Structure 1
Amino acid sequence: MGPDLLHDAVLHDSAQELAAVAAPFLLDALACGDGAVVAVRPATANVLREALADDPLVQVHEHRYLYRPRTSAAITAFHRLGEQASPGRRIRVVGEVDFGTTAAECHEWQRFEAAINHVFAASPLWRLCLFDTQRLPDVVLTTARSTHPHLLTAAGRAVNHDYVDPATYLSGLAAPEEPVERTPPELTADDVVDLIALRRTVRAHLDTVAGPPDLVEDYLLAVDEMVSNATRHGRRPVGLRLWTPPGRLVCTIRDAGTGPTDPFAGYGPAHGEDLSHGGMGLWLARQLCDHVAISRDDQGSTVRLSTSWA
């Protein structure tokens, strides 16, 4: 049985502090036979290259090498990286998440930082996440303290007493408001009973959207999966609202049930690698859409799917 996930954070306020913590972490990886990978912003990469004297054994990449635009793709990238670990060894990753510029993007990456503690629990990865206290907003720094079991400083590694159990953190993280929902939807279905007819209607509306055809087709599939999920696992009535403002697609699917009870739903197929058992709906939606938000109230649960393009 190999090593399990370690997930640490560095909260630094200068390039010197960053180098003093991250460089020894990477050099120690090489000394003990672990892999060493860096996926950070260009400015941070320059600091680490200098501190490491451009050691060729440390793989230095731009942060998108692992932190893909969608969190689902980032999870896949980390899974593949973990598979490269030598038996009994880890791959150490110094990473820097871009939490984006919108509330929806920040929400996705907040969830990512918590969810990976569960998703990668048995993975031979040692993630060291960098947080610049001079550059990042308070909401991101609070996320750092809430989602990393340990903190690493120049003085050493210490238990993080602000860490929150991932399931508890995810359950308490409210989805951000979507302003377009305050406007009249372009398509409304209040009690879905004919899935095929609804799919045709949604397609007819999406056919009028001037977006990338592959992206729009992916979005249609995600909507179809979520409506099917609601009718199979939720409670009637199942309702749908669709908005298509310029450059964006937003759809909400609502039912009278409680929604998914597993806070990690959608961060992998429900039945692991064996897809024949189903359980793919939310997982597929996260693959196919930029943002997937789940909310609940006294009347039921709602899944909101959103995607945008330049």
Structure 2
Amino acid sequence: MRTGAPAQHHGYYHEAVRYDRDDELLAVVVPFLLGGVDAGEPTYVALGEHTAALVRAALPARCGVEFLPGGEMYARPASAIRSYRQLLAEQVAAGARQIRIIGEVPRSAFGATWDWWARYESAINHAYDDFPLWSMCAYDARVTPPEVLADVARTHPRFATADGRHVPSSAWTPPTAYLRENRAIVPDPLQAGPPTIELADPTAAAARAAVHLADRGQVPADDLDDLVVAVSETVTNALRHGRPPVRLRVWSGADRIVATVGDGGDGPADPFCGLLPASHDDAPGGLGLWITYQSCSHVTWHRDDDGYTLRLTVGNLPTGG
């Protein structure tokens, strides 16, 4: 049973807070947080710097709410899931019967990388459901694009409102359906030109060499190493589990490297692949893709008439939507 929640509920109680004014946000969040403290529940804030300051100023001093580094928690979707699951497991092991969190994805996610953050918001309905978690995700409608708000309505089962209601989302789509949808990829501007390197049916060794050839020192050495491993893993998965031909393309930019790996197959069958480790060690792309999602600056995929393509980026991401 969920103490203080609007109804009995086991597992993850996932809500969004869509607000147009600061006082509207506070009307939802402050009672939510103080109610958690009063109930003796671990209660956390994982908001961006501006929003966290707003909430902190509205709370009584030393009230017992713990503030997490929002920017670090939401560095990358798969990393966020891993970090939160660790936090939740620790609290449950310490005896917590319910945990409360208010968080928000970074506003920088509302552009070209929104696709994987939308998948994150969908996937956590499953990823956190084995924990007694009640969380709210804050979205400022003044700065959130309409297409992002549309995804918020599809990935959150309900909305919390300033007048104390918990309203079911009419657009709610279960993650097993949402995550299988073929979302359009926002092209990286580098892809408007020819690739620096293009290989057909490369070996894993040839794929690693191609990434090194594309390196001009434009990304940190650790990021380059991560991309080398990610491309090698992706090519290996495509050769082993996909359909020929396997295609590797690499673009080298001034501040980033973009690589795509495509094959003629349909891609992983597991809708959570990449965001969660595979439940079976032999699942196609399971652990390798999960590591890739945590090591690249952006990962996205698309299916078309030619098959399945995964795009990996390290370095500075392009701005804009």
What TM-score comes out, normalization by structure 2 length? Answer: 0.87
Question: Hey, what's the Cα distance between the residues in 1 that align with 2:110 and 2:158?
Answer: 28
Identity %: 36
- Give the 3-state SS of the residue equivalent to 1:89 in structure 2: coil
Contact persistence 1:195–1:228 (CA under 8 A): yes
Q: Name the residue aligned to 2:195.
A: 185
What number of residue pairs does the alignment pair up? 306
Q: Name the residue aligned to 1:85.
A: 91
Question: Hey, what's the Cα distance between the residues in 1 that align with 2:279 and 2:310?
Answer: 21
Q: How does 1:204-243 map to 2 (within 5 A)?
A: 204-243=212-251
Contact persistence 2:266–2:308 (CA under 8 A): yes
Q: How does 1:261-300 map to 2 (within 5 A)?
A: 261-271=269-279, 279-300=286-307
> Which of the numbers 244, 254, 259 marks the counterpart of 2:262?
254
Question: Hey, what's the Cα distance between the residues in 1 that align with 2:132 and 2:230?
Answer: 32
Q: Name the residue aligned to 2:165.
A: 156
Q: Name the residue aligned to 1:166.
A: 175
Change (3 A) 1:170 1:203: closer
Q: Name the residue aligned to 1:22.
A: 29
Question: Hey, what's the Cα distance between the residues in 1 that align with 2:110 and 2:154?
Answer: 20
Contact persistence 1:45–1:61 (CA under 8 A): no
Give the drift of 1:296. 1.0
Q: Are positions 1:128 and 2:118 aligned together?
A: no
Give the drift of 1:214. 1.0
Change (3 A) 1:174 1:90: farther
Contact persistence 2:237–2:285 (CA under 8 A): no
Contact persistence 2:234–2:285 (CA under 8 A): no
Measured against aligned partners, the alpha-carbon deviations of 1:153-203 in whole angstroms (never above 9, x if no partner) come to 1232222222112232223333322332221111111233x333x145325
Letter in 1 for 2:40: G
Give the drift of 1:265. 0.8
Structure 2, unpaired ranges of 5+: 3-9
Aligned-residue CA RMSD (Å): 2.4
Change (3 A) 1:65 1:181: closer
Question: Hey, what's the Cα distance between the residues in 2 that align with 1:275 and 1:88?
Answer: 34
Q: Name the residue aligned to 2:5.
A: none
Question: Hey, what's the Cα distance between the residues in 2 that align with 1:204 and 1:262?
Answer: 31
Letter in 1 for 2:310: V
Letter in 2 for 1:47: L
Question: Hey, what's the Cα distance between the residues in 2 that align with 1:279 and 1:97?
Answer: 25
Letter in 2 for 1:264: F
Give the drift of 1:21. 0.9
* Range 137-146 or range 83-92, more displaced: 83-92
Contact persistence 1:151–1:158 (CA under 8 A): yes
Question: Hey, what's the Cα distance between the residues in 2 that align with 1:127 and 1:275?
Answer: 33
> Which of the numbers 6, 18, 23 marks the counterpart of 1:11?
18
Q: Are positions 1:73 and 2:79 aligned together?
A: yes
Letter in 2 for 1:279: G
Q: Name the residue aligned to 1:95.
A: 103
What TM-score comes out, normalization by structure 1 length? Answer: 0.90
Change (3 A) 1:65 1:291: closer
Question: Hey, what's the Cα distance between the residues in 1 that align with 2:96 and 2:111?
Answer: 40
Give the drift of 1:144. 1.8
